[in-house]
Structure 1
Amino acid sequence: MKTFYDVQQLLKKFGIIIYVGNRNADIELMEMEVKELYKLGLIEKEIFQRAILVLRQEKNKNELW
């Protein structure tokens, strides 16, 4: 998992599609969903960590623009 798209595809596997129209809001909601999937034991720790890292990097990129 290396890109924002990869995280979107992970969530899509669980029937979760997020598009609010605001990139930062999308990232926040995606992070919440990834945390919930991990808490429920549906994804492994390594996948959880990579997804959160990708989302935080994306958030930082957005803040620079």
Structure 2
Amino acid sequence: MKIVVDKSRCIAAGQCVLKAPRVFDQQEEDGMVILLVESPSADDQEAARLAARVCPSEAIAIIED
């Protein structure tokens, strides 16, 4: 699995951080997404998929191997 984030689409809703805090974070100044792990461990993959599904701006793409 590889995660790709389109920061230009991010609206700083923070849903990704709530669903997968070991994979995503937010910038302090504007709340924009920060990708912490491009290829998450098996333990974090389902949380990352959920974060992509709930992202209101569809800024997160999951590329499955």
Q: TM-score range by the shorter chain?
A: 0.3 to 0.5
TM-score by length of 1: 0.35
Structure ID, larger Rg? 1
TM-score by length of 2: 0.35
Q: Which has the higher strand share?
A: 2
